[in-house]
Amino acid sequence: MNQSVVKVTIDGSGYATNFSRNPIPFPNQAVTKHGSIEAALEQNRRCFFFQKHTGLYAYRREFLLEFAAWPQAESEKAASLEQLRALERGVRIKVVEAASTSIGVDTLEDLERVRAIVSGAGGRASGVVV
C-alpha cells in the first residue's frame, strides 16, 4: 500500500470525515493474519471504506489567513496531512468525485511513472494502479 497516496472517507453528505496515508479502517487483525498490508487488502478489499484522495482545494483568502495562523494539529504532524488541521477545527471539506483517475506525483518513483506514460512507454494513465 503506497503511503504517499492519501485516502479519504466521506460521510453521506459528501464531506470528508478523515484523511490517512493508511487504509481506513486500518486492518490490524487482517495484517496479522495475512502477514502484510498488501496481502490483507487483497483478501479483504470489501472491508474498507476509503477512496483515493487527489487534493485540489479552493479557499477564500480570509480562510487561508486564518488557517495559516492555527498551530498544527497533532494528527497533522503525525500524518503530514494539513487537511487534518482543518477537520480538527471543525472545518467541513466537501469532496467531489473525479471524472477520471489521476496520478499523484509525490515521490521520484511517481515522477518516473508519469514520465514513462508521457513518453508512451508506460501505457495509458487510466491503467495505473496505486
Q: Is this model's pTM higher than 0.95 or not?
A: no
pLDDT at 21: 83
Low-confidence ranges of the chain (pLDDT < 50): 125-130
The verdict on 93 and 111 lying in the same domain is: no
- Each residue of 13-34: pLDDT tens digit? 999 998 888 777 666 666 677 7
For the chain, give the number of residues: 130
The verdict on 105 and 43 lying in the same domain is: no
Q: What is the number of domains present in the chain?
A: 2
The verdict on 112 and 92 lying in the same domain is: no
C-alpha cell at 70: 492555527
Which residue shows C-alpha cell 496481502? 39
- How far apart are the two ends of the chain, measured CA to CA in Å? 8
The verdict on 60 and 13 lying in the same domain is: yes
The verdict on 77 and 46 lying in the same domain is: yes
The verdict on 65 and 88 lying in the same domain is: yes
